[in-house]
Structure 1
Amino acid sequence: MENKKQSSDIVYSCYYNSSREGEHFVPEHTLSYVIAGSLTLNDSSKEYPSRNGTFRLIRRNQLIKFEKQPPQKGEFKSLSIYLNQQILKKISIEYGIYADHTPKDKSVYELKINAPVKTYINSLLDYRDNGTLNNQQLIELKIKEAILLLLQINPDLKNILFDFSEPHKIDLEAFMNKNYHFNVHLDRFAYLTGRSLATFKRDFEKWFRMTPGKWLLQKRLQEAYYLITQKGKKASDIYLDLGFEDLSHFSYAFKKQFGSAPSKISTE
């Protein structure tokens, strides 16, 4: 069971008794603070493990897989602070802060914890306890405070926070072969490759000679077949990692493609 208390931009999560895996598109820069347990992120190029007290910035416009793990006999707890573009643009104008260039090296940045950051986190927890996380004016002030704290920790973060450009048109083949296992809608893939949905579909079929949906299914099933037959993996251990929503759908598609259920083909 998961309990969340949130405003539109600040979320307190408390997850009980077991780990939880998932994935999503990150549309806004997000600050993540782990209070208890661990939160492992994976952007398909690198894994970013955490520990209690880890404070991270996740860049916007990323595809991220995550796994939340409660501590032994405890609960996973975290704070997520979403730095929306509207507030960032206001700060950019108010303080005259602009990006000099656009760094492309990482999706996730670990941030140093200092006394002001600790005070800031504790203030959010106090607001959670007294029920004021629903006050939108206060929330906007706390988001602004978070952004100014980030710039104190690392002034170079302005090149990430105040880069308001949208994804440009990139190599479709390389992007899809890297990210096919993310279970997101085609419009997300289109956006992240710098294309409209119609252009994405047209470019995709021109390059891959099939529709995106058919290619994604085949690619995921091919990888599943390899992992099961060559690496001894179980269907229950891999279906989420390969972008399938549930085990029954994966098993049905696998049997239709290869003529045998995953549990049987692994022993053939």
Structure 2
Amino acid sequence: MQSHFNYLCITMKSKREDFGNIVYSCYTQVSRQGEHFVSDHVLSYQIAGDLVLNDGFKDYSATDGSIRFLKRNQLLKFTKQPPPSGEFKSLSVYLDQQILKDFSVEYGLTAEKKYVDKSLLLLTENPLLQNFMQSLLIYQFSDKLSDSRLVEVKVKEVLILLLQEEPDLKDVLFDFNEPGKLDIEAFMNKNYHFNVNLDRFAYLTGRSLATFKRDFEKIFGITPGKWLLQKRLKEAHYLLEKGKMASDIYLDLGFEDLSHFSFAFKKQYGLAPSKIISA
């Protein structure tokens, strides 16, 4: 059985120590890594530094000592801020579908209803989970998590603790259905600024890629690729008029790099982003 922990301490030199699925690394600079597709449920412990997550609606901040649960099959943007003269550090437990299915069979747990609460849950002032995370740090520093038997036991332990503290999460953890069909128009207007492939958008709206493209064109009258570019550039123009700098907005709008953004913007509007004067 593979390990199901990732230990992340973020550094400018990207130092890594790999223990199978347990990864130790460090950054000392602000890390804006853009978007992230959460493919598995994650329980994450903030050790040092600040983390800001955005799900398309609002920002969620996590500071030292906080614990957060992220639902699978969602898009998030994140910014990692190290403390002054320190390092960003977090500890995360990834709960993949196979381990949850095995746990479900072993303990007779099934989802009974659709969980419709937030996609991100902050678990504050939870001494049991905090003590659990601290115990993982001790094991990690002593290189004990290289033993897959210990990892298996610790994953089961955290699942039991999590369900004791948040019983309603049973309907999240043991819901093994794939995303159902969503309203494409509402979904895309919320998530157009995430830089992910079309097949990811298709999956999250409960469609094959071919069906997604067909349904999209019926609604918007244009291909998804052209719509995404126009939507992002229109928002960029608005933000530039408000006084924002191109270097501050291109990642947030789903562009991979500044040069690509600048080229696309000039082609669309006939002016470089720097020529747009704020009102």
- The answer, yes or no, to whether TM exceeds 0.5 is yes
Match of 1:261 in 2: 272
**Distance in 1 separating the partners of 2:40 and 2:172:** 11
1:158 maps to which of 158, 170, 175: 170
Shift of 1:12: 4.1
1:143 maps to which of 155, 158, 163: 155
**Distance in 1 separating the partners of 2:39 and 2:188:** 19
- Does residue 71 (structure 1) correspond to residue 71 (structure 2)? The answer is no
Shift of 1:20: 2.7
Match of 1:42 in 2: 54
- Does residue 216 (structure 1) correspond to residue 228 (structure 2)? The answer is yes
Shift of 1:105: 2.3
1:174 maps to which of 186, 203, 226: 186
Deviations 1:172-195 (A, max 9, x none): 111001100000111110000000
- Does residue 88 (structure 1) correspond to residue 124 (structure 2)? The answer is no
- Does residue 24 (structure 1) correspond to residue 36 (structure 2)? The answer is yes
Instruction: Check conservation: 1:9, 1:139, Cα contact below 8 A.
Output: no
Match of 2:258 in 1: 247
Shift of 1:63: 0.3
Match of 2:244 in 1: 233
Distance 1:9 1:154, change over 3 A: farther
**Distance in 2 separating the partners of 1:259 and 1:76:** 41
Instruction: Check conservation: 2:65, 2:130, Cα contact below 8 A.
Output: no
Shift of 1:62: 0.6
Instruction: Check conservation: 1:32, 1:57, Cα contact below 8 A.
Output: yes
SS in structure 1 of the partner of residue 237 of structure 2: helix
Shift of 1:117: 2.0
Please provide the CA RMSD for this pair: 1.7
Write the letter of the residue equivalent to 2:51. L
Shift of 1:6: 4.7
Instruction: Check conservation: 1:13, 1:79, Cα contact below 8 A.
Output: no
Q: How does 1:188-207 map to 2 (within 5 A)?
A: 188-207=200-219
**Distance in 2 separating the partners of 1:209 and 1:92:** 44
Shift of 1:148: 1.0
**Distance in 2 separating the partners of 1:108 and 1:5:** 28
Shift of 1:266: 2.6
Q: Normalised by the size of structure 1, how large is the TM-score?
A: 0.94
Shift of 1:132: 3.2
Write the letter of the residue equivalent to 1:80. S
**Distance in 2 separating the partners of 1:186 and 1:112:** 36
Aligned length in residues: 267
Deviations 1:77-113 (A, max 9, x none): 1112100111111111111111121122211001144
Q: Normalised by the size of structure 2, how large is the TM-score?
A: 0.90
Write the letter of the residue equivalent to 2:259. S
Instruction: Check conservation: 1:112, 1:153, Cα contact below 8 A.
Output: no
Match of 1:117 in 2: 129
Match of 2:6 in 1: none
**Distance in 1 separating the partners of 2:120 and 2:246:** 29
Structure 2 runs not aligned, ≥5 long: 1-11
